[in-house]
Structure 1
Amino acid sequence: MASTAPDHRIRLPVLRAELLKQTFVHWRFPPDEVQKLLPDGLIVDEWDGAAWVSLTPFLMAGVRPAYVPLAPSLAPFPTTNLRTYVRWPGGRDGVWFLSSEVANPVMLAARVVGAPYHVADLSVTEADDTVSYAGTRRGGGPSYRLVVRPGPPISPTELDIWLCGRWRAYTWRLATVFEIPIRHAPWALSSATLEDLTENLITAAGLPPPGGEPLVHYSEAMGNVRLGPARPAWLQDLVSGA
């Protein structure tokens, strides 16, 4: 279940990283609109009868293989995910990435387990108490511009935890749903005011334009993020006894 702390251990992480200056912009969507974008086996997760889709730009820093002692880290680079919230039939919840834009082509290696990475020209800048993000997928693909004004820290509500307390990602490769475990400290969330947003990532992913005012969060830094090895979700059922 979504929670403030992970519900599993990662004994042998494969990747470590830090997530910096991350904004979350969340919208409600009709569940059937999201379900039709999911592979067989994944079920759209709902809160109060709605599916949710989130645009999450950030800086990724300290990326390094966890299994190589003294391995050098990649220089910080912007990343932007468009994600929704899903559940495996065995009950384990997580996130499904509708698209992922990365400024560092090295990350394309994650396509081997189905991560939907695209190389993009991305930026993250700060000025006058605001944080600005912008990006365009290379080759004339979708683009966005987002400006937020971070506010004071908040005590997470149940909905905040449901949206941000996800400890696995699901991907699709070779007609199989893969599960990737994630661990890090609980998010230190702040409120944020949306100053400007233009984007077509959502419609490019196959969804209608979002309606209504979004819920917006901001987090200055998340360290010691660990990703475990990807393995088929059906195999994880056997391991966990689901």
Structure 2
Amino acid sequence: MKRDLVAMTWVDGLFVHWPVDPAVVDERLPAGLEVATYDGEAWLGIVAFEMTDIRPRGFPVGLGFPELNLRTYVEPEGGGRRGVYFFNLDARDPIGVSIARLFFALPYYRAEMHVSRHGEEVQFTHQRRHPGATPAHFDAVYRPAGDVFRAETGSLEEFLVENYRFYTRGRRLYHGDIRHDPWPLQEATVDVRANTLFEANGFDRPDGEPLVHYADELHVTADRIRRVR
């Protein structure tokens, strides 16, 4: 029986997604992965949330810190399960960053981050401070703007948020699995006051208005990474 490596709770999640040309994303992916599309479009997403009660297996006390990532959606070349590919994951906790880099081979970076709440409104600020990494800055205010719903099977929302596998490239291509209930989504509004994550990862900023969702709270567990094939 599998034993999860870590358990945590994700709070005040923000999902901001832009459709992009699949070729723009494909050229930035490592060998072994290809971009996944919905109705012919690839998607780049910025996801922000606060992780609370993070408990690696055997730890008696939970940790907590904000996280911010730029991601897309991929499939293994030759077929396989769709999942998330992260261009960056920034977090405030240096210990958490070191653990994630060591055990999950993920592109985590140290950053100064702050989350404040005023009623339903959430302010999320971020400034990357990782030694040797490209600087990045993100500042947004967001809030839910609708009733809670679960993504319907086959919908765009399901494609964007219901992904239970991530892929990462170290010396080899690996995948890791997470487990959680379906996301309790709400439509949302966001005022992005600063955002250089696209430029920091070598992308032009996408045109048009993004698709925005909010999620209140979700309990998540994660297993160790495994080699793809």
Q: What's the secondary structure of 2:40's corresponding residue?
A: coil
Cα displacement string for residues 204-227 of structure 1 (whole angstroms, at most 9, x for unaligned residues) = 11111111110000001002x111
Structure 1 residue 129, shift from structure 2 partner: 3.4
Asked whether 1:111 is paired with 2:101, we answer yes
Cα displacement string for residues 22-67 of structure 1 (whole angstroms, at most 9, x for unaligned residues) = 100001111111111110000100011111011111100111113x
- The residue type paired with residue 38 of structure 2 is W
Structure 1 residue 72, shift from structure 2 partner: 1.4
Instruction: Write out aligned runs for 1:1-242 (5 A).
Output: 11-66=2-57, 68=58, 71-74=60-63, 76-89=64-77, 90-107=79-96, 108-112=98-102, 113-127=104-118, 129-138=120-129, 141-155=135-149, 156-157=151-152, 158-174=155-171, 176-223=172-219, 225-234=220-229
Is the 1:178–1:232 contact (alpha carbons within 8 Å) kept by the matching residues of 2? yes
Query: What's the C-alpha RMSD, in Å, of the aligned pairs?
Result: 1.5
TM superposition outliers: structure 1 runs of 4+ over 6 Å: none
Is the 1:60–1:77 contact (alpha carbons within 8 Å) kept by the matching residues of 2? yes
Whole-Å Cα distance in 2 between the matches of residues 85 and 48 of structure 1? 13
- The residue type paired with residue 191 of structure 1 is E
Q: State, as a whole percentage, how many aligned pairs show the same letter.
A: 33
Whole-Å Cα distance in 1 between the matches of residues 55 and 119 of structure 2? 32
Structure 1 residue 197, shift from structure 2 partner: 3.5
Unaligned stretches of 5+ residues in structure 2: none
Structure 1 residue 154, shift from structure 2 partner: 4.2
- The residue type paired with residue 143 of structure 1 is H
Query: Structure 2 length as normaliser, TM-score?
Result: 0.91
Query: Structure 1 length as normaliser, TM-score?
Result: 0.87
Matching residue of 1:6: none
Whole-Å Cα distance in 1 between the matches of residues 223 and 120 of structure 2? 36
Greater shift after overlay, 139-148 or 93-102? 139-148
Whole-Å Cα distance in 1 between the matches of residues 19 and 13 of structure 2? 20
- Count of matched residue positions in the alignment of Structure 1 and Structure 2: 220
Cα displacement string for residues 109-154 of structure 1 (whole angstroms, at most 9, x for unaligned residues) = 2213420000000111112532111100015711011111211224
Is the 1:149–1:195 contact (alpha carbons within 8 Å) kept by the matching residues of 2? no
- Structure with larger RCO (C-alpha < 8 A, sep 6+): 1
Structure 1 residue 194, shift from structure 2 partner: 1.7
